[in-house]
């Protein structure tokens, strides 16, 4: 008999991508195979995101499209996992009764068993409890990513305990839960043994790593342990909360050879009153101080960020003040968003919401500014030689290869496919918003 096939659609952050990879591994271990098309898959699994309205809308319309599909093919299992599944729970089933499984954020590692139950006739299943022992999540993480990719993404801490006033993540992902140092080191060793050369450590705030563990190991301690692994060329991590940047972290960035010169340090807003209302726990002065220390200690470091505009009560003057700050800092790149009210969060309850058209106008103004800065900074890099880890053939362009510099910039250059997976020197010859075109150095 042909094996059963699955199709996964993932929304949201890199953590969700990592969770989807893990679910894929679990399904494959249970004999399932990936299906290139949604339409003839035996399992359609949607891993969802709740951080803004838009990704939630997309899931609702996707579920709408799947309703006739399920009628025509009732044996197809439809599962909704992740943050929106956690948030909506059985409301999701009321709106979309053709969904078979609603799988919360601490349950994704049971996907294989739950799908088997549905196929045996037990439906619908709603699994949302947060109490689920995170150690079982830890154990099954080891199954992920076989065979190992050149660049692996590894959750080291799940959940978030920060409660920024606009953010849904702590509600849908639960409190911070770190994986023990020995377990992370063992997993990275395993990945490197199977060919991984770069790891990106993932967490909503990796700098909170270890606080919840016995002995409270720090994130920089974890970095120093991983730096010693033979065959691991590069270590990256994301995201960092500015409040938790320590001198030890800056030293790790400066001194550990495999730790790449890049930090993603979401600022969110550039006016102190707004930062306070967001419950971010730092001021613009403090943020500027961190940027100064990082740039002094780590030559060439790329500092990228997340910025949100139109937080409730943000005055036009505060928005302008923020733009002036971003012009001063000159981020290497930024993810930029218009504030989106999330039901249940403190900010969504406020009465001074900014009208949508104003939020969007501010967003476009910010994007214009940051694009100019990103492009100008990239132009300044032309002529330099970068160490590039070669991913393989570029998505478009004949005979072109794509890879990343240590500062995480994308570099595209002509070269033989045989150098995929190796480190090469590339001279940067042309700057774009997305990165560089380059030429292999002699
Ligand atoms: N843990 C990360 C952020 C995860 S969410 C951190 O604290 O940096 C990714 C980004 O989405 C956030 O940095 C923020 O800029 C944006 N975001 C979060 N909630 C949002 C909301 N309600 N509306 C718009 N953007 C939001
Ligand atoms: Fe959300 Fe703040 Fe936690 Fe980031 S640190 S996930 S923005 S609550
Ligand atoms: Fe979205 Fe959940 Fe990630 S809300 S950004 S998928 S943690």
Positive/negative CA dihedral, 319, 323, 328, 333? positive
CATH number, domain of 183, equals: 3.30.750.210
Q: Are residues 63 and 138 in the same domain?
A: no
Q: Cα of 162 to ligand 2 centre, how many Å?
A: 6
Q: Are residues 154 and 117 in the same domain?
A: no
Return the residue whose CA atom lies nearest to atom 4 of ligand 1.
204
**Closest approach atom of ligand 2 to CA 239:** 4
Q: Are residues 332 and 423 in the same domain?
A: no
Q: Cα of 105 to ligand 1 centre, how many Å?
A: 17
Q: Cα of 258 to ligand 1 centre, how many Å?
A: 28
Q: Are residues 256 and 269 in the same domain?
A: no
Cβ neighbour number for residue 242 with a 10 Å cutoff: 23
Q: Quick check: CB of 239 below 6 Å from ligand 1? A: yes
Q: Are residues 38 and 77 in the same domain?
A: yes
> Are 26 and 143 in contact, with CB atoms under 8 Å apart?
yes
pLDDT of residue 139: 47
Instruction: Identify which of 377, 372, 365 has the alpha carbon closest to the alpha carbon of residue 431.
Output: 377
d(CA 163, CA 139): 28
The residue ranges of the chain whose pLDDT is under 50 are: 135-136, 139
Q: Quick check: CB of 206 below 6 Å from ligand 1? A: no
* Mean per-residue pLDDT over the chain, rounded: 95
Distances (CA, A) of 365 to 52, 130, 377, 378, 434: 20, 40, 19, 20, 19
Q: Are residues 24 and 118 in the same domain?
A: yes
Count of the separate structural domains present in the chain: 4
- Output the six-digit token pair for 225: 């342990």
Domain boundary among 212, 240, 260: 260
Q: Are residues 114 and 9 in the same domain?
A: yes
Q: Are residues 292 and 391 in the same domain?
A: no
pLDDT tens figures, 118-152: 999 999 999 998 865 554 455 455 555 567 899 99
Q: Cα of 124 to ligand 2 centre, how many Å?
A: 32
Range of the domain at 307: 262-380
Q: Are residues 278 and 223 in the same domain?
A: no
**Closest approach atom of ligand 3 to CA 48:** 6
Q: What is the CA radius of gyration of the chain?
A: 22
**Closest approach atom of ligand 3 to CA 14:** 3
CATH number, domain of 280, equals: 3.30.750.200
> Are 197 and 231 in contact, with CB atoms under 8 Å apart?
yes
5-26 burial by CB neighbour count: b if 16+ within 10 A, else e? bbbbebbbbebbbbbbbbbbbb
d(CA 265, CA 364): 21
Positive/negative CA dihedral, 270, 359, 62, 122? positive
* Terminal-residue alpha carbon distance, the chain: 54
Return the residue whose CA atom lies nearest to atom 1 of ligand 2.
167
Q: Cα of 211 to ligand 2 centre, how many Å?
A: 16
Return the residue whose CA atom lies nearest to atom 4 of ligand 2.
204
CA angle at 147 for the pair 213 and 59, rounded to the nearest 5°: 75
pLDDT of residue 132: 52
d(CA 125, CA 104): 11
Q: Are residues 183 and 111 in the same domain?
A: no
Ligand 1 pocket test, candidate residues 15, 51, 304, most atoms within 8 A of CB:
51
Q: Cα of 163 to ligand 2 centre, how many Å?
A: 6
d(CA 111, CA 196): 26
Does residue 147 have a cis bond before it (omega within 30 degrees)?
yes
Q: Cα of 350 to ligand 1 centre, how many Å?
A: 18
**Closest approach atom of ligand 2 to CA 204:** 6
Q: What residues flank ligand 3, with Cβ below 6 Å?
A: 12-13, 15-16, 49-51, 82-83, 168-169, 172-173
**Closest approach atom of ligand 3 to CA 173:** 7
Ligand at shortest distance from the CA of 53: 1
5 forms bridges with which residues in the sheet? 33
Q: What residues flank ligand 2, with Cβ below 6 Å?
A: 160, 162-164, 167, 169-170, 204-205, 241
73-108 burial by CB neighbour count: b if 16+ within 10 A, else e? eeebbbbbbbbbbbbbeeebbeebebbbbbbbbbbb
pLDDT of residue 398: 81
Q: Are residues 411 and 367 in the same domain?
A: no
Domain boundary among 242, 260, 278: 260
> Are 68 and 62 in contact, with CB atoms under 8 Å apart?
no
């Amino acid at each position: 008999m042909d094996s059963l096939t699955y199709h996964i659609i993932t929304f949201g952050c890199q953590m969700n991508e990592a969770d989807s990879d893990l679910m894929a591994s679990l399904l494959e271990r249970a004999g399932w195979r990936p299906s290139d098309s949604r339409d003839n898959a035996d399992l359609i699994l949607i891993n969802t995101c709740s951080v803004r309205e838009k990704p939630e809308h997309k899931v609702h319309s996707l579920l709408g499209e799947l309703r006739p599909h399920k009628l025509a093919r009732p044996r197809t299992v439809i599962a909704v996992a992740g943050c929106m599944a956690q948030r909506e729970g059985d409301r999701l089933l009321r709106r979309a009764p053709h969904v078979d499984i609603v799988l919360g954020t601490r349950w994704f590692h049971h996907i294989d068993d739950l799908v088997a139950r549905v196929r045996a006739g037990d439906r619908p299943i709603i699994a949302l409890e947060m109490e689920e022992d995170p150690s079982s999540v830890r154990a099954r993480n080891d199954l992920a990513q076989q065979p190992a990719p050149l660049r692996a993404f590894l959750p080291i801490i799940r959940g978030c305990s920060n409660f920024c006033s606009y953010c849904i993540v702590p509600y849908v992902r639960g409190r911070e839960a770190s994986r023990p140092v020995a377990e992370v080191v063992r997993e990275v060793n395993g990945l490197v043994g199977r060919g991984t050369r770069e790891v990106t450590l993932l967490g909503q705030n990796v700098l909170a790593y270890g606080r919840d563990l016995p002995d409270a190991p720090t994130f920089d301690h974890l970095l120093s342990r991983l730096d010693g692994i033979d065959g691991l060329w590069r270590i990256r991590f994301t995201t960092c909360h500015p409040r938790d940047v320590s001198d030890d972290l800056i030293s790790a960035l400066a001194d550990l050879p495999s730790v790449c010169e890049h930090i993603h340090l979401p600022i969110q807003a550039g006016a102190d009153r707004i930062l306070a209302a967001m419950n971010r726990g730092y001021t613009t002065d403090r943020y500027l101080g961190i940027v100064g220390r990082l740039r002094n200690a780590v030559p060439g470091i790329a500092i990228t960020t997340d910025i949100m505009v139109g937080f409730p009560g943000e005055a036009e003057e505060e928005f302008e003040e923020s733009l002036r700050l971003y012009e001063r800092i000159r981020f290497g790149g930024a993810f930029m968003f218009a504030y989106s009210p999330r039901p249940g969060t403190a900010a969504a309850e406020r009465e001074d919401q900014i009208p949508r058209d104003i939020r969007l106008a501010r967003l476009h103004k910010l994007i214009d500014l940051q694009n100019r800065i990103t492009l100008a900074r990239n132009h300044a890099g032309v002529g330099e030689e970068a160490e590039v880890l070669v991913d393989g053939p570029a998505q478009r362009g004949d005979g072109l290869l794509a890879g990343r510099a240590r500062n995480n910039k994308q570099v595209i250059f002509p070269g033989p496919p045989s150098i995929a997976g190796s480190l090469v020197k590339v001279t940067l010859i042309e700057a774009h918003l997305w990165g560089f075109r380059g030429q292999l150095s002699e």
